[in-house]
Amino acid sequence: MTGDVKARAFDNWREHVRADEIGKVRQHLVLSSVSCQGYPASTLHSLATRELVDELRSTIELLQPATLFLPWIGDIHSDHQVAARAGLAAAKSFRTPTVKTVLFYETLSETNGTSTLRTEVFSPQLWIDVSSHIDQKLDACLSYATEFGSHPFPRSEIAVRSLAALRGSECGVSAAESFVVQRLFCA
């Protein structure tokens, strides 16, 4: 949803670094394309909801995904909350029938940064075994160098491996990712 790093007072060099990092992540994950809406970071809350929903719906109609992954709606980051709500509105089953599954994912530094008084607690219902490709996932994550730091920074190699190990221990594998299910349709 975001991508205009100039809005955060980065210089032109930093903008190119970020674009290069996204390209490297795309290669690691073998993605055929990446769609960036380019809104200024940390400002989605100030934009018209209708605009965001229409942008997402257009992207969904173009790509026709069966599964939509959204940031956890209760994340501390306001952009994640807004993107999740807009994603849910854009993916209504009667408007975008190709989307059969909607899953919320957790984000290190954002999902568990919420107050314990909030009602939106990330409580996984679906686990996916990533044991065989945890190193590939970590390589992709570390390609996004401007978002990662050294431990105890919450987005670090140790934190990624630790969360994968924790989620794996919850379902009997060595490494897993977990999700909150919004919609799951099985034919």
pLDDT in tens, 47-57: 888 999 999 99
The model's pLDDT over 100-142, given as tens digits with 9 standing for 90+, comes to 999 999 999 888 776 556 667 889 999 999 999 999 999 999 8
**Residue listed under structure tokens 């993605």:** 31
pTM across the whole model: 0.86
> What residue segments make up the domains of the chain, in order of their start?
2-184
Which CATH number does 2-184 carry?
3.40.50.10320
> Count H helices, E strands: the chain?
5, 6
- Report pLDDT for 28: 81
The model's pLDDT over 136-147, given as tens digits with 9 standing for 90+, comes to 999 999 888 888
* Beta pairing class for 67-71 and 101-105: parallel
Give CA–CA dist 81/78, Å, rounded.
5
